[in-house]
Amino acid sequence: MELKKLLESLTFYNVNGEVENCEITSLEMDSRKVTSGSAFVCITGFTVDGHDYVDQAVKKGASAVFTSKPLTKDYEVPIIQVEDTNRALAMLAVKYYDYPTKHFPLIGVTGTNGKTTVTYLLDKIFEYHQKKAGVIGTIQVKIGEETFPIVNTTPNALELQKTFHMMREKDVKQGIMEVSSHALDMGRVYGCDYDIAVFTNLSQDHLDYHQDIQDYLRAKSLLFAQLGNGYNGEKEKYAIINDDDSSSHLLKRSTAQHVITYSCKKEATIMAKDIELTASGIRFKLHSPLGEIAIQSRLMGMFNVYNMLAASAAAIASKVPLKVIQEALESIEGVNGRFEPIAEGQDYSVIVDFAHTPDSLENVLQTIKDFAKRNVYVVVGCGGDRDRKKRPLMAEVALNYADHAVFTSDNPRTEDPQAILDDMTAELDSTSGSYEVVVDRKEGIAKAIQSAQKDDIILIAGKGHETYQIIGHTKYDFDDRDVARNAIKQKGV
Ligand SMILES: CC(=O)N[C@H]1[C@@H](OP(=O)(O)OP(=O)(O)OC[C@H]2O[C@@H](n3ccc(=O)[nH]c3=O)[C@H](O)[C@@H]2O)O[C@H](CO)[C@@H](O)[C@@H]1O[C@H](C)C(=O)N[C@@H](C)C(=O)N[C@H](CCC(=O)O)C(=O)O
Ligand SMILES: Nc1ncnc2c1ncn2[C@@H]1O[C@H](COP(=O)(O)OP(=O)(O)OP(=O)(O)O)[C@@H](O)[C@H]1O
Ligand SMILES: N[C@H](CCC[C@H](N)C(=O)O)C(=O)O
Ligand SMILES: [Mg+2]
C-alpha cells in the first residue's frame, strides 16, 4: 500500500521527509519483525519504549516510522509524528487491512467471568446456524475448525485487525471476541466496529492494573460507549446487559444504542424461568419477546444459566431462530478447561476449572456443594504479578465451601511462590477451616487425589485450559488435566 493512502486514516500529523512514492509492505509495532518496506509504529509500553528501537527498525529496512515525540536524530525515511501512536496504530491497522469487519458482524463480550464461555456458546450457535464464526479469546483464535495460538485474551490493535483480515480471507460470516478491561483501557479495540456488545458480570479482579473497582467498571463501560461508533453505521446495534448485576444501570447509560436486558430474577427482555439445576446439567425456560424455548444443557451451575442467557440474547439480536439456539445449547458438552471432568474410572470426582477470581471460585464451589454426597476438596492458588487483593478473598471462599483446601502455586511468574501463598493465608485463623499449603502444584494435586475417598469431589481451580505454568519468565509444560490423570492412575482405581 502507498504510504499516502495509509495516511488517509489519520487526520492531523507532521511529516518529516518525502511521502510520495513510498510503498509500505507491512505494518509493524515490533522492530524485531520489521522487514524491508515495513512501516514501524513506535509504542510506549510498560517495559520498554518503541521509540528506542527506531535505529533498529530503519536498519532492517523500515520505509516509514510513526512516532509521538521528536526523535534525537535524523533518518532518511519519512518520520510521521502523531499525538498518540497507540490510537494511530489502530486507525492505520484498520486502513491497512481494509476495514476487515465491514465484511462480517462483530460481537464483543466483556465482564469479569464468563467471557470465554459465552463466546464458545455463541460459536456453537453460529455453527448450528450455518454461519462460519471466528472466535478471539483467552484460549485461542478459532476460525471454523482451525485454531491458532494467542498471547493476550484481547490482542493489540495491530494483531487484532490482522486476525480480522485473516477471518475475512477465510470467509468468516460472524466475528465473536472477548474484550478484556485491559484491552479497553489500553485502546487495543480502537477501530473495532461492534454490532453487539455483551456484559456478563462485574466482581473483583485485576486491581493490580485498575486503581479500584470503579476504574475497572469504567474500563468495561468503554465497550458500550464504543458501540455504534464505527463505519457500519447503518446497521442496528445492541447492548446486551445482565440486569441482575449491580453494574447494569451504569452500563445501560453508557450506550446510545438499543439495550437488551437478561435476568433470572426479574422482568427483562430475555428471562430464564423454572430453572432446575441438577447433577447432570441445567433445565430452564428461556423467555423472549419472540417466544419461549425449553433449554436442556449438560453445563453445570447457575452461572451457566446466565452465560446461556447472554449468548442467546446475542444470538436473538443476530436474528438466529430460537429453535437453532435451543438445539445448539443442547448439543454443547462443555468448554475447554471449564468444569471439565477427569474420569479415569475412579470412584471419586475430579473437576478442572478456570475459576481464578473470588466470585468464580464461589460460583463453581457452590455448584459442586449442591450435589456433593461427601467431602469437597479444592486445590487452588493465585497468579503472581496479578491482583494481590484477591488472594485472601479466594482463600476465604475456598475454606467457606470446601471441607479441605490445598493452597498451591498457580502461575507464580516473577513473585516468590511462598509469598503469594502467605498473602492467601495470612488472614486465615485455625478455626476458619481445614487447609494445607503445598507450594508445588503437581504435589498439591497428587495430595488431594491421594486423600480422596469414594464419592468425594476434588476441584482443581485456576488454570483450566492452560498447558503451562509460568515460573519466573519461563513457561514450563504443565496441564492440570494430565497431572490429575497421572495422579489418579498412580493411586489406582
Ligand atoms: C501489561 C500489558 O498488558 N502488557 C502488554 C504490552 O506489553 P508491554 O507494554 O510490556 O510492551 P513492551 O515490551 O514495553 O513493548 C513496547 C513496544 O516496544 C516494541 N518493542 C519491544 C522490544 C523490541 O526489541 N522492539 C520493539 O519494537 C514492542 O513490540 C511494543 O510495541 O503489550 C504487549 C503487546 O501487545 C502485550 O502482549 C502485553 O500483555 C502482557 C503479555 C500481559 O500479560 N497482559 C495482561 C495483563 C493482559 O492484558 N491481560 C488481559 C486479560 C485479562 C482477563 O482476561 O482477565 C488480556 O487481554 O490478555
Ligand atoms: N457467568 C459467570 N459468573 C461467574 N462465574 C463464572 C461465570 N461463567 C464462568 N464462571 C466461572 O469462571 C471461570 C472462568 O470462566 P470463563 O473462562 O468463561 O471467564 P472469562 O471471563 O473468559 O475469564 P478470563 O477473564 O480469564 O478470560 C469458569 O471456569 C467458571 O468457574
Ligand atoms: N486472564 C486472567 C487469567 C488468569 C489465570 C491464572 N491462572 C493466573 O495466571 O493468574 C488474567 O490474566 O488475570
Ligand atoms: Mg476468557
In angstroms, the CA 299 to CA 305 distance is 9
Please tell me the predicted confidence (pLDDT) of residue 162.
Answer: 98
Q: Kindly state the cell numbers that stand for 424.
A: 492467601
Chain segment 78-137, per-residue pLDDT in tens: 999 999 999 999 999 999 999 999 999 999 999 999 999 999 999 999 999 999 999 999
Instruction: Give the pLDDT band (50/70/90) at residue 233.
Output: low
Q: Whose CA is nearest to atom 3 of ligand 3?
A: 356
Which of 48, 177, 338, 387 should be mutated for ligand 1, with most atoms under 8 A from CB?
48
- The residue whose grid cell reads 535524523 is 74
411 labelled as ligand-binding? yes
Model's pTM, two decimal places?
Answer: 0.97
Q: Length of the chain, please?
A: 493
Instruction: Give the pLDDT band (50/70/90) at residue 231.
Output: low
Please tell me the predicted confidence (pLDDT) of residue 160.
Answer: 98
**Dihedral of the alpha carbons of 203, 208, 211, 215, in degrees to the nearest 10:** -40
Q: Whose CA is nearest to atom 10 of ligand 3?
A: 383
What is the interface pTM, i.e. ipTM, of the complex? 0.97
Q: Is 153 in the pocket of ligand 3 (CB under 6 A)?
A: yes
- The answer to whether 165 and 141 are in contact (CB under 8 A) is no
pLDDT at 309 over 70: yes
Please tell me what DSSP assigns to residue 165: H
Ligand at shortest distance from the CA of 49: 1
Instruction: Tell me the mean pLDDT in the region 204-224.
Output: 94
Cβ neighbors of 68 (< 8 A, separation 6 or more) are: 42, 44, 51, 81, 82, 83, 84, 85, 88
116 labelled as ligand-binding? yes
In angstroms, the CA 129 to CA 394 distance is 39
Q: Whose CA is nearest to atom 9 of ligand 2?
A: 114
Q: Kindly state the cell numbers that stand for 215.
A: 476504574
Please tell me what DSSP assigns to residue 23: B
Type of residue at 37:
G
| Ligand 2 mean position, distance from CA 183 (Å) | 17
Please tell me the predicted confidence (pLDDT) of residue 229.
Answer: 72
Q: Is 180 in the pocket of ligand 1 (CB under 6 A)?
A: yes
In the sheet that holds 238-242, the strands lie side by side as 146-148, 141-143, 133-136, 174-178, 106-110, 196-199, 238-242, 258-263, 270-278, 281-288, 291-297
31 labelled as ligand-binding? yes
Please tell me the predicted confidence (pLDDT) of residue 235.
Answer: 81
Of residues 485, 449, 478, 459, the one with CA closest to residue 379: 459
